[in-house]
Amino acid sequence: MSQIFKLFKLQFDEKFDILKTGNKKKMFGSILKYVLIIAVLTFVCYALFLKFVLLGFVINKQLISIILLASQVVSLLFGIGHIIKVLFQNKDNELLMSMPVHPQQVFVSKILLSYIQELIVNACITLPLMISIGLLGGFNVYYYVMLPVLVVLLPILPTATALLMSIPVLYIIKFFQKHSIVSTILILATVVVCVILYSRLLSAFAESFNIVSKQIETVIGINISVSKIGNANAFYLLLAESVIFVKSIYKILIYILTSAVVFVIAYYVVKPFFFKIAMSNLETSTNAYKEGKYRKRSQFASLLYNECLNVFRSPGIIFEYFLFTILMPFVVVVYDNLLLGLVVNQSGQLMINGAHLLIVAVFATLSNIYSASAISREGANFYILKSTPVGYYTQTAAKIVFNAIFSLGAIVITGIVACFYMHVGVAILTTLICIFLSLGHMFSCFDNDIKAPTLDWYDSGDISKVNSNITRSIVKGLLLAVLVGVVVISLSSSMGLWAFAVVLVGSLVYCLYKAYVLVLRVSYQYERLEP
């Protein structure tokens, strides 16, 4: 058992700092980060649910059963990804299998790691929802005592189910890896369908609440639907009852026994596949490189082409870095049409214009996460890029231009579409503001990654280490977007379109300043970077 725990801790410490007892500061900081995330999400959930409760929504065991089911589905989706990465795609299998331990101990340690990852995901999803529901529903102390128990138990069933599903999903992934064009088309089609369904649902929901007379009917209808769905959801309804009522605590045993049975089945089904795949990676080595024709390109074009190859080699990488870029035109149009459908006075119209800028700015800055990991993404292979006979400014320009092609392209497309249903002046000014804001944020992201790159990773299983810079990029981008949106909304009542002009000048100054800082940073620090 001690060997399993050592193997688990070895892998866990590569991904998280929670168990790093040798570094108390990192351990405390990591724990505090998750506590703050749960606290913030709880506040947001409480604020959202409060509005619905005031409108007449009923909090009962049926609603909680639906929330539990939804959280399990989300956890399952995350779990499949975790299982595949941890068990089958992580190159540490070769290292762990060569250690003086039994292969079964490696397998168990990886399942334990997957469970803990699911536990963290579940805690961040379920706790905020359940705490806010408990506060608004007026549940007693027993409910809150059961929440930690629930958080520990909930990941077991999704982890076990994900284990079973990981095998067919793994073969599907291998098929799509061989047919990348098919997978890209399929993912794009899925995104489009989801956006269309989301926009229709949002429009229908907003239409119901835009008319006061329909609010009561809508609330009653939703309460009835929740009751029907919750009662039909018998398995999680029993789990909800065990959390709410002391007399029903025994019903939690049904969930525990079901989870145990599924887990045992998954364990014995997946174990031979794990050994086969892990040992095949250890014992065989094939060269997947296909030699092609040599082509002559300029230094800048070669670097730009290399960025294209690195991104377009996998649909997953495309959507990881450019999901917000792809969604920008769709989501902005949906929200704009939703707001424009409201009957408002002149002040309301000015606020709608400001909200349009806000939503475009949010997606414009979120589209820059590629630059937030431009250096860190190279990992331990950064020395190859650094030793190439190409100037550092050229290397920097290639990475930024590649990001800008997508981000600015999406902004321009969004602006052109907006001209058909909004005031043309507002659409043009918004586009210009977001272009300069996006460029400035892009320069800032690249600058931050040069200041504090994460280069101590060696394979795709460790790439999650670069997420800290991406997180900072997202937070900074959201703050910038909110700032420009609030400024325009605040000044529009007195300045009209001139408010956009003021923000345009500010975004231009911000862009030029960040470009200047980046030039200095590359000149001063790029050469000093070491893997």
Query: Chunked in runs of 10, what are the mean pLDDT values of the chain (531 residues)?
Result: 78 70 71 83 81 78 89 86 81 75 84 88 87 88 91 91 88 74 71 67 57 63 84 89 89 93 92 77 54 73 79 64 74 70 58 82 85 78 74 85 88 88 86 93 89 67 58 85 87 79 92 92 79 61
Q: Is the dihedral of CA 4, 6, 9, 13 positive or negative?
A: negative
Question: Is pTM beyond 0.85 here?
Answer: no
Predicted confidence (pLDDT) per residue in 83-134, tens digit: 888 888 777 777 777 777 787 888 888 888 888 888 888 888 888 889 998 8
Residue 485 identity (one-letter amino acid): G
pLDDT value for 101: 79
What is the b/e burial string over 403-428, where b = at least 16 CB atoms within 10 angstroms of the residue's CB?
A: bbebbbebbeebbebbeeebeeebbb
Distances (CA, A) of 15 to 97, 126, 255, 271, 457: 19, 22, 30, 23, 11
CA nearest neighbour of 137 among 239, 231, 64: 64
- What 8-state DSSP symbol labels residue 102? -
Q: Where does residue 15 rank: exposed (0-12), middle (13-18), buried (19+ CB within 10 A)?
A: middle
Distances (CA, A) of 347 to 359, 433, 488, 491: 19, 22, 12, 11
pLDDT value for 281: 55
What is the b/e burial string over 275-300, where b = at least 16 CB atoms within 10 angstroms of the residue's CB?
A: eebbeebeeeeeeeeeeeeeeeeeee
Q: How far, in Å, CA of 102 to CA of 7, rounded?
A: 11
pLDDT value for 53: 79
Q: Is the dihedral of CA 325, 197, 426, 415 positive or negative?
A: positive
pLDDT value for 211: 47
Biggest CA pair distance of the chain: 76
pLDDT value for 202: 58
Residue appearing with tokens 């860190």:
376
pLDDT value for 356: 83
CB atoms within 10 A of CB 188: 14
CA 356 to chain centre: 23
| Total residue length of the chain | 531
pLDDT value for 434: 92
